[in-house]
Amino acid sequence: MKSVQWHDTHITILNQQALPHKTEYLELKRIEDVWDAIVTLKVRGAPAIGMTAAYGLALAAQSYETDDLATFHTELKRDRDYLASSRPTAVNLFWALDRLIKSVANATSVNEAKTTLIHEAICMQIEDEDVCRRIGEHALSLFQDGDRIMTICNAGAIATARYGTALAPFHLAKEKGMSLHAYACETRPVLQGARLTAWELSQAGVDVTLITDNMAAQTMKAKHISAVIVGADRIAANGDTANKIGTFGLAILAKAFNIPFYVAAPLSTIDLQTKTGDDIPIEERAKEEVTHIGGVCIAPDVNVYNPAFDVTPHELITGIITEKGIIFGDYETKLPTLFEEVLA
């Protein structure tokens, strides 16, 4: 099941707002459709947002009428900025758009640039599958048969090209005949844990138990949770990590119970330009996400604070798992070394 797919005249996305009740694919034909799908969380999860935006930019560029390269670059930059305005926290969005812009910097004709953009976006999706598999292999080395592992939000196959990041070890364990039991926090207010993770893992035949977010402490104690693993939207240079709201609380609980707390993410989620978590922009979303559940109002008309993400300080993170391996502590020194080969 692919979260996003390129077709020559449009993009299709799995509508994650309709899950788990309906498995529905939407056709995105205009750049405005792509922007809207990202803003309204029809496609979500840092890598999937990046891939969709990349396809959206490639799609938009196909309709530019100019033959003049300078005009082409101006229009491309305008559309890059438009798509970049959809969501502020996941750095994969900006990483993907800028990678596309860079790919055509030396194009010698508009036609060549248009083809290159499509090619680059497709490559990104192919690479992401491989990256997620590697993350899963590394993560799996931390776990043992029978482990009960807690997660939040959905950092799974539908948030990436395949496998996911934090959910990759569960999918790989299943492939290898090993048993890992996932405890999925429902993830209020948008319920990515209940609607998406519980659905994705049960579809894949992985043992999954759903809990509400406020059951995490009791579950860690009563069910002997052996580790927590989460995805990331942006990892700052010092290791501070933005992820779905509620992640920070799980990290504090994990420390209280002396349970390891792991972050699983691709290099494209690491933002060395952002020094600490205080510099990561945190998206605030509409109050209706909190006051309503499934379209039903559950609260009086009061003020609402609805941050979509929080930042877990690096000192609460036992290890960061990337496609290049696992780093434990001293993130400020170790994170840049992950890019050495990439930059060489």
**Binding site membership for substrate: which residues?**
44-46, 87, 192, 243-244
Which residues have CB under 8 Å from 40's CB, separation 6+?
A: 17
The beta-strand segments (E) located in 296-338 are 296-297, 309-312, 319-322, 325-327
The one among 34, 100, 153, 161 contacting ligand MRU by CB under 6 A: 153
The one among 83, 90, 97, 250 contacting ligand MRU by CB under 6 A: 90
The one among 233, 240, 310, 323 contacting ligand MRU by CB under 6 A: 233
Does 197 bind ligand MRU (CB under 6 A)? Our answer is no
Binding-site residues sit at 44-46, 87, 192, 243-244
Does 140 bind ligand MRU (CB under 6 A)? Our answer is no
CA distance 337 to 169: 24
Indicate the DSSP class of residue 277.
G
Segment interacting with ligand MRU, rule: CB under 6 A, options 22-30, 62-70, 151-159, 292-300: 151-159
Does 86 bind ligand MRU (CB under 6 A)? Our answer is no
Q: CA nearest 251: which of 216, 277, 201?
A: 216
C-beta of 299: minimal distance to ligand MRU in Å? 21
Q: Which of residues 243-272 bind ligand MRU (CB under 6 A)?
A: 243-244
Does 155 bind ligand MRU (CB under 6 A)? Our answer is yes
Burial (CB < 10 A; 0-12, 13-18, 19+), residue 278, is exposed
130 is catalytic: no
Amino acid type, 64: Y
CA distance 87 to 242: 14
Locus of tokens 């797919």: 5
Does 42 bind ligand MRU (CB under 6 A)? Our answer is no
* CA 187 and chain centroid, separation: 14
Binding mask 290-329 for ligand MRU (x = CB under 6 A): ------------------x---------------------
Segment interacting with ligand MRU, rule: CB under 6 A, options 28-36, 69-77, 176-184, 226-234: 226-234
**Pick the catalytic residue: 33, 79, 147, 233?**
233
Number of residues forming the site for ligand MRU (CB under 6 A): 18
Does 231 bind ligand MRU (CB under 6 A)? Our answer is yes
* CA 163 and chain centroid, separation: 12
Structure tokens at 82: 């438009």
Question: SS3 for 106?
Answer: coil
Segment interacting with ligand MRU, rule: CB under 6 A, options 19-27, 41-49, 63-71, 294-302: 41-49
Locus of tokens 């994650």: 16
In contact, 304 and 287? CB cutoff 8 Å: yes
Residues tagged active-site: 233
Q: Provide the binding-site residues for ligand MRU, judged by CB under 6 A.
A: 44-47, 90, 153, 155, 159-160, 164-165, 192, 231-233, 243-244, 308
